[in-house]
Chain A
Amino acid sequence: MSAPNKSYDPVEVEALKPEEIERMRDEALAAFAAADSLDALQEAKVAHTGGTSPLALANREIGALPPQAKAEAGKRVGMARGAVNKALAARQAELEAERDARVLVEEAVDVTLPYDRTAAGARHPLTTLMERVADVFVAMGYEVAEGPEVEAEWFNFDALNFTPDHPARQMQDTFFVQGPEGKSGDESGVVLRTHTSPVQARALLERREPPVYIVCPGRVYRTDELDATHTPVFHQIELLAVDEGLTMADLKGTLDHMVQALFGPDMKTRLRPNYFPFTEPSAEMDMVCYVCRGESVGNPDRPCRTCGSEGWIELGGCGMVNPKVLTACGVDPQKYSGFAFGFGIERMLMFRHNVEDMRDMVEGDIRFTRPFGMEI
C-alpha cells in the first residue's frame, strides 16, 4: 500500500479510482449476500468494514490528496461505505429474524410429552434440618465447629465439670470404648460421646482467646434401646458463645431469635431452672407451641397433638457456661462469660414434621426421606 506523499497526482492513486471503489463496494455487497449465518456475516463484516478492509485503507489515502481531489475522492469513498453499511445492517436483520424463527421451532417444548429426566432427590431430613438450624447461627456470625465421635472421657465429662462420681454422670448411659492396650471399656478413658458438649471444651482450647461463637452439629450416642422415642444414635446441635459481658438475657435473646427463624416471627421461648454440671445457672428451654400457640391449654374442644395441649414444647438444656468449665479450658472466668445450649434434632424433626416414630428416621428407608426433598 502506498504511503502519503509518494505522488502528488491523485490519478496515480490506484485505490481511489472510481472503478476500484465500485469493485470494493460490490465485493462487500456480494460477501454480505453470501453470508448464510450470523457468524459468517460477522466474518464478512470484519473483512469489508473493519480497520484493514480495502475501503478503510482507501479512505486513509484521501488525506494525502490536494483539496480538489480530496473532496471528490471523499465523496466516492463515503458513498461506497454508506452502501456497504446499509447492506450489512439489512442482512444482519434478515439473518437475526431467520435465527429467531428457527429457535422458536427448534426449542419448542411440548409440555404434554412424557418426561425422561431423573426426579429430584432428597437429602435425609435430619441433615437438612441440622444444617438449617446451623445456618441460622452462621448467618449471625457463628462458626461451625466439629469434634470426634469417639471422644476422650475427659472432654465428654471431666472438662464439663462432671466429677467421676457425680450422679449426673450416671444419668447418661455411656458407651465405653475398648482401649488400645486391650483395656476394658470403662478403664480406657475413651467413650462414644454422649452429647455434643465436648466440642465446647475443644473449641475453647483450640481457639485460646475469646470471643468464641460456635455452633456444633453432630451425632451422639447413648445406650438406649431403639423405640418410638429413643435411639442409641442420635443428633444434637450445640451452641457456645464466650465473650466479655455475655448475660443470661443474651442467651434468652439468642434462643428467641432461633425459634423465630425456624418457626415464625412471633415465636418465643421459656426458661425453667434445671441442673447441668457444665452450666450455672442452668435452664430447661421450651418454645411456645407453634401449632396451637398455647390456645389448647385448658381448652378440651381444641386439643393439640403437637404439644399435648401443654402450650409449650420442650427443646433442650441451656445455661451460662460454668466458670469451672472456662477455667478447665484455659479461659479467665473473671474476664469472660458465656452461654451454651443444646438440643436433639430427632425430637425437633418429630414435632416440626409430625413424625410419630423415631425408628422411621434410622431404618434407612428412602421412602421416608423422599417427601422431605431438599428444603425443610
Chain B
Amino acid sequence: MRVPLSWLREYVDLPATETGRDVQAKLIEVGLEVETVEQLGTGLKGPLVVGKVLTIEELEGFKKPIRFCTVDVGTANGTGEPQEIVCGARNFAVGDKVVVVLPGAVLPGDFAIAARKTYGKTSHGMICSGDELGMGDDGSGGIIVLPPEHEVGTDAIELLELVDEVLDIAVTPDRGYALSMRGVARETAIAYGLPLRDPALLDVPAPNSFGYPVQIGDPLGCDRFTARTVTGLRPEARSPIWLKRRLQKAGMRPISLTVDVANYVMLELGQPLHTYDRSRIQGTIGVRRAEQGEKFTTLDGVQRVLDAEDLVITDERGPIGLAGVMGGANTEIADHDAEGGTTDVVIEAAHFDALSVARHARRHKLGSEAAKRYERGVDPQATSAAAQRTVDLLVLLAGGTAETGVTEIIAPTAPRTITMPADHPDQVAGVTYGRETVVRRLQQVGCDVYGQDDLTVTVPSWRPDLAEPNDLAEEVIRLEGYENLPSTLPKPPRGPRPHRAGSDCTAASGARWPAPDTWRR
C-alpha cells in the first residue's frame, strides 16, 4: 500500500513539521511495515508553470516530426512575451494548456534547464511530459495536457503536487484493513494519539425499494450488496489533477473518470467497487455460483470457462462479472472516444466471501487490486459509505445526478465477540499492563469492551483477523510497544546434553567440505 503523506494528512492532523521518515518510524512501532519513504520532487526547482499553446510550426526535414511552438506563460518569463519552445511530442494542439519548464529550472534527476539551440531554432525551455516531472505514467502517451480551466502562469509544482512523500507499506495478510487510507490513517491516529477523521463516516440515505433490483442467490458468497445509480454523466468529463495525482502516487494508472473514481474510493475506504453501464445491463442483478462450463468474457477480452465454484454477478442474460475480480466486457463503461459514451452507471459495492474470491482469482489467474483486498478481508459494513462516496464524486466531477433509489441487501450476521480474562495480554507479554490499559488499547483499535475480570470484546467489522484472545493480546502489546517488552530468560528443566559426534576430526585430518553436511545425508 502506497500512502502519500499529503493524502494521509487529510484524515489526521499531523504536526506540520512531521516528515515521512518520522511517520514511518511511528507506524513501524505500531506494527505497520513501512518499507520505504519515497521522496517525490527532490531537487525540483521552478519556474515550472502552466502555459497556453499559441502557435505550432511543423519543422520539416528532420528524421522525426518536430514542432516549433510559442507558448503564453504569462509573466513567468519576466517579459510576458510568448515563450519559444521546440517540442518533439505531438499530442497537443493550439489552445491546449500545457506544463512549461523555463530556463533556470531544475527537473528531477539534476536536469538543469537552459536555452539551447536545437533543430535550427533556440528552445527557451521545454513542454513537459509526466515522466520528465517524475509523475509516472498519466495515460496521455506524451506531454501533459491540462484541463482548460487552469490559468496561464500558475505554478505547476503546486498544481501537480509534485513535491510529496510516499510511504510504501508491506501489508501482512492479516491486516487487510491497512490496504486503505482509512486503515493506515487509523493506525497513524493511534500512533500519534490524535483523533481520526474517518472517511467512512458519511451521511448515507436509507435503503428503499426503488433502487436497481438485486437478488442474492448465494448469501454465503455475498452477504452484502449495495447498488446505487448515477445518471446524466458527461461522457467527456475527465479526472481532475488532484484525483489523478493521488492515484499515481498510490501506484495506479489513471484511466477514465468513472474507473478512476472507483479506484480512488477503493484506495480511500478499502472497499472495491465496480461500475456497470446501466444501458448495457438487462434486468435484475444477481449473485450466484457459476454453472460448470459456463462461458464468460471478462473486461480484458479473454473468454473464460467457469467452474461451479466461481462466484459470478449476473443479469438476466448470464454472467456480467467475476465477483470481486473483474467485470465483463458486456457491461463495460464506454469512454468518451467510443460511440455514445456512458452516461448512466450502476455502482456495485459488495462484500464477497474472502475464500471464494481467493479461489476463483487463482483459478483464472486474475490477481487484481480488488481481489487482493477481498482475500485479506474487507470491512463488510463499508459498502454503503463506499457507494455513497462514489456517487458523490461522480456527481461532483461528471455532473451526474444521483438517483434516489438505494438498494442494499444484507444477510444478517451477529457481531463477533471474544471473551478473555482482563489480564490475558499481561500473561502473554510477561508485563503488567493492567485492565485499564488493556481496555483503552482495545477501544483504540475499534473494539467495544465490557466486563471487569473477564472482558467481553466486540471486534470492529474491519478486523476479521481478530478472533482469539491472543489476537487481542497482540493488539495491546504492539500498541504498548514491542520495544518496551522486558528481557527474561526461561530455564529449561534439563541440563545441557551432547548432541553430535562431530565431523571435526575428519576436518582436522584434512577434509574440506564443499557443501553443508545436510546435503549428503
Within 8 Å CB of B376, what residues of A? 167
Within 8 Å CB of A130, what residues of B? 516
| CB pair B489 A254 closer than 8 Å | yes
- Chain B 289-326: CB-based contact to A (< 8 A → 1; otherwise 0): 00000000000000000000000000000000000000
CB distance from A344 to the nearest CB of B (A): 13
Within 8 Å CB of A253, what residues of B? 486-490
CB distance from A235 to the nearest CB of B (A): 6
Closest to B477 in A: A281
For the complex, would chain A's binding face be called helix, strand, loop or mixed by DSSP majority? mixed
| Given A126-B516, A364-B514: A121 in contact with B33 (beta carbons within 8 A) | no
- Chain B 64-94: CB-based contact to A (< 8 A → 1; otherwise 0): 0000000000000000000000000000000
Q: How many A-B contacts are there with CB distance less than 8 Å?
A: 176
Choose one: A243, A280, A369; the contact of B474 (CB below 8 Å): A280
| Given A126-B516, A235-B516, A366-B512: A248 in contact with B429 (beta carbons within 8 A) | yes
| CB pair A320 B428 closer than 8 Å | yes
| CB pair B31 A272 closer than 8 Å | yes
Within 8 Å CB of A241, what residues of B? 490, 492
Choose one: B375, B468, B487, B496; the contact of A323 (CB below 8 Å): B468
Closest to A374 in B: B507
| Given A247-B428, A284-B33: A219 in contact with B519 (beta carbons within 8 A) | yes
| Given A165-B359, A281-B470: A250 in contact with B488 (beta carbons within 8 A) | yes
| CB pair B494 A141 closer than 8 Å | yes
Given A121-B506, A235-B516, 4 new contacts (CB under 8 A): A123-B503, A144-B500, A271-B483, A369-B513
| CB pair A167 B428 closer than 8 Å | no
Within 8 Å CB of B506, what residues of A? 121
| CB pair A124 B513 closer than 8 Å | yes
B residues 464-521 touching A (CB-CB < 8 Å): 468-471, 473-474, 477-478, 482-483, 485-497, 499-500, 503-504, 506-519
| CB pair B507 A121 closer than 8 Å | yes
| CB pair A249 B430 closer than 8 Å | yes
B residues 344-372 touching A (CB-CB < 8 Å): 355, 358-359, 362
B residues 170-229 touching A (CB-CB < 8 Å): 172-175
| CB pair A123 B507 closer than 8 Å | yes
| CB pair B518 A365 closer than 8 Å | no
CB distance from B377 to the nearest CB of A (A): 10
Within 8 Å CB of A256, what residues of B? 487
**B284: CB under 8 A from chain A?**
no
| Given A141-B492, A243-B490: A281 in contact with B428 (beta carbons within 8 A) | yes
| CB pair A141 B499 closer than 8 Å | no
| CB pair A282 B517 closer than 8 Å | no
| CB pair B492 A142 closer than 8 Å | yes
Q: Please, how many angstroms separate the alpha-carbon atoms of A241 and B358 in the complex? A: 34
| Given A122-B507, A127-B513, A247-B427: A165 in contact with B355 (beta carbons within 8 A) | yes
| Given A248-B429, A280-B471: A118 in contact with B173 (beta carbons within 8 A) | no
Q: Please, how many angstroms separate the alpha-carbon atoms of A284 and B478 in the complex? A: 12
Choose one: A144, A168, A257, A270; the contact of B483 (CB below 8 Å): A270
CB distance from A180 to the nearest CB of B (A): 22
Closest to B498 in A: A138
| CB pair A274 B511 closer than 8 Å | no
